[in-house]
Chain A
Amino acid sequence: MIETGTLWTVIIGLGIGSYALRFAFLGIVGDRPMPPWLLRHLRYTAVAMLPALVAPQVVWPAATGGEADLPRMSAAVVTLVVGLATKNVIAAIVCGAATLFTALWLTGF
């Protein structure tokens, strides 16, 4: 369970922080040039942070008590492959979810 104090600290802190990230450039930096090394790192934040967040959940899902599990693993692989092949977020989600449910049903859960 999440404590109320922690929750509100996170909501307010994250609200201010994410707003600052967005306003920093539009409002303050304007179109002054940014150092190329900084832009080069920022370019890879999404493709680094998001997979890093989900990788442990794919390999050791909490729902199975941390046991590697075939339905979840195959759903992750299908989602990734369909996303790469079609560049279509919805198609990837639908195929990934279909794989998960089919595999869960086949393995009897």
Chain B
Amino acid sequence: MPSTTPKKRTRASAYWKGVADGAPFLLVVAPFAMLFGVLATEAGLNVLETLLFSAVVFAGAAQFTALQLMQENAPTVIVLASALAVNLRVAMYSASLTPWSGDAPLWQLAIAAYFTVDQSYACSVVQFENEPQMTVPQRMAYFSGVLSPIVPMWYISTVLGALVGTQVPESWALDFALPIAFLALVAPMLRTFAHVVAAVTAIVVSLLTAGVPYSLGLMIAGTAGMMAGAQAELMLERRRVSHD
């Protein structure tokens, strides 16, 4: 049950609530997109290719993964499979939003699908649970609101990064920007013991399989980590049941 008294929501107020909730994410989105622009141009992409990459794929972590593996000359199939595996979490977002999207028209769902990213998902789930009395059009308005500041910033910052790209001096050690960004993203996600088990397993296996050809180590390590996390969760559940 929501703790607050139900507020009177309109579509407009839902939209603006979304804008307010999404705005703080600009601090993460802008540098992340710029970094992609910089690394992409350093890998030899031109500004237009970099922007289209960001616009067509619209999934930061998957883009960085694909870029990294292409530079390692991994086979295209492995590049695609690994980057999509990195992006599997959006399938989970999509699945967990379905109870809220209800009878929205298919064209709206088709647009919403493109825009289902970390930020829009995280804000929406919290908002929809806090105010379950929101109607489906209000929820869609809120979802668009969250994205309104974020999406233009994603495109603009990508282009800015691409424009400064090759002028960044080597002393900035940009080679290490991606590890820092990813570790910073992952650390707050390690909420449960099972998440920690998944991450530690994935790290150990990725180091052990670093020599496996075609950059397949990432797929092997990621799968091992996911399985370890799922098994740890099952074990913890069983223990909880036997304790009760």
Question: A and B bound?
Answer: yes
Residues of A within 8 A of B (CB): 1-2, 6-7, 9-15, 17-19, 21-27, 29-31, 34, 37, 39-63, 71-72, 75-76, 79-84, 87-90, 92-93, 96-97, 100-101, 104, 109
Q: How far is the CA of A100 from the CA of B237 in the complex (A)?
A: 40
- Using A21-B88, A43-B230 as known contacts, list a sample of 7 further A-B pairs with CB atoms less than 8 Å apart, ordered by residue number in A: A9-B76, A11-B49, A46-B189, A47-B186, A48-B221, A55-B203, A97-B177
B85 contacts A by Cβ under 8 Å: yes
**B59's contact among A18, A60, A62, A72, by CB below 8 Å, is which?**
A18
Interface of chain B residues 148 through 163 with chain A (CB within 8 A): none
Which residue of B has the minimal Cβ distance to A42?
A: B92
A/B interface sample: 21 pairs, CB < 8 A: A7-B53, A11-B56, A11-B57, A14-B56, A14-B62, A21-B88, A22-B94, A24-B94, A25-B97, A31-B102, A39-B95, A45-B89, A52-B203, A52-B222, A61-B175, A62-B175, A75-B176, A80-B186, A83-B186, A89-B28, A100-B173
- Size category of the B interface is 35 or more
Residues of B within 8 A of A (CB): 27-28, 31, 43-45, 49, 52-53, 56-59, 61-66, 68, 70-71, 76, 79-80, 82-95, 97-99, 101-102, 106, 109-110, 112-114, 116, 171, 173, 175-190, 194-195, 198-199, 201-203, 205-207, 210, 217-218, 221-230, 233-234
With A11-B57, A21-B91: A87-B97 Cβ-Cβ less than 8 Å = no
B179 pairs with A49, CB closer than 8 A: no
B206 pairs with A55, CB closer than 8 A: yes
Contacts of B186 in A (CB 8 A): 46-47, 50-51, 80, 83
A51 pairs with B202, CB closer than 8 A: yes
Contacts of A39 in B (CB 8 A): 92, 95
